[in-house]
Structure 1
């Protein structure tokens, strides 16, 4: 089912207009009905008083009976009625054009002024009755009334016109609303047309924001920001593909070369063993790369569960220093551990992150320098860092060192190289912990820090 926003909004506008017009119509209808009722009631009250005065001032009842048209003219139309009777019920004046039987009505006393509350409504009739003094001071009962048929017909006609006005108003509101909404949604169609022209080769295009309505400016800016992120991620993915091909090609080239040389001529068993040992190193390199890539993929998709526990930082630092002590000695550097206290983290992942940072620090530290495991606290994070003295990382590289396969050194082939995935794994580990990782590098040294939220 096509659920057009323009149609739905136009329908909502039409329903709203119909509701508003209906409320106004009900108010006007009730006001008219109340006004007509008030007018008729006041007319009846006036007629009763006039008939009382006329009866009292007449010379005789016979003179009044001989001139009935006087009362008909006074009453004004065929929907009005007048009944004057003696106290014993004998009629004196009877004007009842419809010859309708009247229900008994209790007459008001002569000394009581009639009120609207004294008027009774019975069978489509409004009646008012009162006692009057005749020409000879005899007691007479006067009943005045009015048929409501004319009033009901007028109100019925008014209701019909209100229904028609509400219906036509709703249709008009729907049509005008739909027209205006289609014109108002034109910028959305233009944006959709512009978006259709964006493909992987044109991710640098952006949606125009100069002539869009104010309500659409925020979504368009957010869309442009998303396009910028997509462009950056697509570029990173392309670079990652190229780097991955390069990293795999090197060990494969080494394997093909060594095996081809071994097969060109007969070799001794020792030489074949050397070839196999060299092949095993390349296979191990490929295997480490595959495991690291698998870890990164699982970490980014949240498939690597965390096993949080209270970790003794001093003990972890001592174990890592012992593990890297031989490598540090070969490089002519020393290790120092300043960690203390406890931290809630995944022990295995914490050790892996710090190992990668220590391996990176040992590789780049200046001889006779000290690599330190340092710690500091702030209001939000517990920061654990690895500091080494060595060549500073240039500013253009600082924001990219945690990318996969990214190396500051373009040679890409140093002994003990992690394949360009070590720092990327550190970033993923901190992402799993919901923390932060950052680097500071200047002439005083390079500091990699892991920020863990306080629990």
Structure 2
């Protein structure tokens, strides 16, 4: 089932709101009008009762009043009004009742009492008409007690209010339709930037990830999503470029040992060799196979680390003991390079022991390979607010600033010609960074005339 558009939904909501507002206003106006008409009708009945009372009190005789019926009809002004003046015995002195309706028993208010609106009685007649009635005592000539009944048929009022209600219904309905139509048009125009944004997004593919969505002229409501999308495109572009570069670097790194293996084996097959020469060739091939194996293991570790497949075995570690184990492991390699190792680590740290040893081991291996002969490589700890930094400091060639930001990229080497047997294939520092990311930490490096310092930052738990 096709879903309605946002413009359609908002226009419908706008129309419903307009209909509700118009209905509320219409109900208020209708009730105000009905109340005002009822108020005026009641005042007219009250005034009519007072007029008739005064007329009866000023008359010389009832016979003279009965002889002038047209006067009272002109006083009432229409056929919907009625006026009855009755004697105490029930006979009528004045009887203006166009439809000859039988009236209900009424409680007449006292002669000396001023009539109030609450004295007006609304009565539904048997023929379906509704009447407003008011009865009051009066005195005729010579003090004769009389009863005056003034009334008004409310058909005209009901017809007027019914006509007003119909107009209100039409106004509310037409207003809702007009609000829906205008809202739809305005919303379609208002959503034009969104359609332009969609068109711009559709125009970006794998070959044009460097394009960005235009932010100039974008409405304020869409500016933040546009900036977020541009940020996402930048990250995607960077990831694709890194993946492409990684694929190229991986192909290059694998091609070198494979080319060496193919060349050496081809030469061995083309010319007969002695057993010692074949053994030397196999030993050389084993080195290349070991290099390929380390590269595959390192790539597997990086892939699992990036996908958070490895669960950390966090425990409180004695850093000095960790440093001693690493120094003992690299002591033979350090002696071969004529460098000394110093362990100045201290205190405790919550971390995964295996991963911490691997990260520090990769940094120590790099430090031993690139340190100047006769220098000192030291393991230190430096604390900053909330962060524990483990440092590996060595004295060797200064790393140029343009290389520092790329050292932790995969397969990146400052000097590719210095590749040595047993290295990590350009993945050692990338593994160090992945280990720190797993721990929620960070890495940094600095290099100057006083030496090169690699630092591992672990967040200290509160």
Question: Quick check: 1:5 aligned with 2:12?
Answer: no
- The superposition leaves residues 304-330 of structure 1 with CA deviations (integer Å, 9 ceiling, x where unpaired) of 111111111111111111111111121
How many angstroms does 1:412 deviate by? 6.2
Bigger mean CA offset, 86-95 vs 234-243: 86-95
1:333 equivalenced with 2:339 (yes/no) = yes
2:60 is equivalent to residue 59 of structure 1: yes
Q: 1:97 to 1:391 in 2, by over 3 A?
A: farther
Alpha carbons 2:66, 2:93 under 8 Å: kept: yes
**Aligned-residue RMSD, C-alpha:** 1.8
Q: Are 2:433 and 1:404 aligned?
A: no
What are the Cα deviations for residues 112-167 of structure 1, in whole angstroms up to 9, with x where unaligned? 11111222222222222211111221211212222222112111111111111111
Q: Is the 8 A contact 2:291 2:422 kept in 1?
A: no
- CA deviation vs aligned residue, 1:215-269 (integer Å, no higher than 9, x gap): 3333323322322222222211111010010111112112222322332244444
* TM-score, scaled relative to structure 2: 0.93
Give runs of aligned pairs for residues 212-231 of structure 1, distance below 5 A: 212-231=218-237
178, 181, 189: which one aligns with 1:183: 189
Structure 2 counterpart SS, 1:131 = strand
2:289 pairs with 283, 287, 294, which one? 283
Aligned mates of 1:412, 1:3 — CA distance in 2:
65
1:86-165 aligned at under 5 Å gives the runs: 86-123=87-124, 124-165=130-171
SS in 2 for 1:272: helix
Q: Structure 1 343/59 Cα, relative in aligned 2: closer, same or farther at 3 Å?
A: same
Listed as ranges, the gaps of 5+ residues in structure 2 are: 125-129
Closer, same or farther: CA 98–344 of 1 in aligned 2, 3 Å? farther
Q: 1:76 to 1:392 in 2, by over 3 A?
A: farther
* 2:42 equivalent in structure 1: 41
Name the SS of the counterpart of 1:136 in structure 2. Answer: helix
Q: Deviations over 1:290-343 (max 9, x none)?
A: 221111111111111111111111111111111111111211211112211111
Instruction: Tell me if 1:247 matches 2:290.
Output: no
What is the alpha-carbon distance in structure 2 between the residues aligned to residue 283 and residue 149 of structure 1? Answer: 109
Structure 2 partner of 1:22 = 23
**Structure 2 residue 383 is matched with structure 1 residue 383:** no
**Distance of aligned partners of 1:236 and 1:83 in 2 relative to their CA distance in 1, 3 Å threshold:** same
Q: Give the direction of change, closer, same or farther, for the CA distance of 1:445–1:101 in structure 2 (3 Å limit).
A: farther
Distance 2:378 2:84 in 1: 119
Q: In 2, Cα distance between the equivalents of 1:390 and 1:88?
A: 135
Counterparts of 2:250 and 2:418, CA distance in 1: 12
Secondary structure, counterpart of 1:384 in structure 2:
strand
C-alpha distance in 2 between matches for 1:443 and 1:222: 42
Partners of 2:137 and 2:146 within 8 A in 1: yes
Once the two structures are superposed, residues 164-195 of structure 1 have per-residue CA deviations (whole angstroms, 9 ceiling, x without a partner) of: 11111111111111112222222222222233
In the other structure, the counterpart of 2:368 is: 362
Q: CA distance change for structure 1 residues 196 and 101 in 2, over 3 Å: closer, same or farther?
A: same
Match status 1:173 vs 2:179: yes
- Counterparts of 1:331 and 1:166, CA distance in 2: 93
Give the distance between the partners of 1:122 and 1:428, measured in 2 at CA. 91
Q: Distance in 1 between matches of 2:89 and 2:283?
A: 140
Rounded to whole Å, the distance in 2 between the matches of 1:211 and 1:454 is 46
Aligned equivalent of 1:274: 280
Q: Secondary structure at the match of 2:305?
A: helix
Out of 297-306 and 412-421, give the one that drifted further: 412-421
CA distance in 1, matches of 2:249, 2:188: 50
Q: Does 1:84 find its partner at 2:90?
A: no
- Cα 1:371/1:32, change in 2 over 3 Å: same
**Paired position in structure 2 for 1:315:** 321
Alignment gaps of 5+ in structure 1: none
- Corresponding residue for residue 414 of structure 1: 420
Q: Which residue of 1 aligns with 2:127?
A: none
* TM-score (ref. length: structure 1): 0.95
Structure 2: distance between partners of 1:290 and 1:100: 110
Q: Spell out, residue by residue over 1:190-212, the C-alpha distance to the aligned partner (whole angstroms, 9 max, x if none).
A: 22223332222222222222333
Cα pair 2:375 2:395 within 8 Å, conserved = yes
Task: Give, in whole Å, the separation in 2 of the partners of 1:80 and 1:162.
Answer: 29
Q: Is structure 2 residue 452 aligned with structure 1 residue 446?
A: yes
Q: Structure 1 segments of 4 or more deviating over 4 A?
A: none
Tell me the equivalent position of 1:352.
358
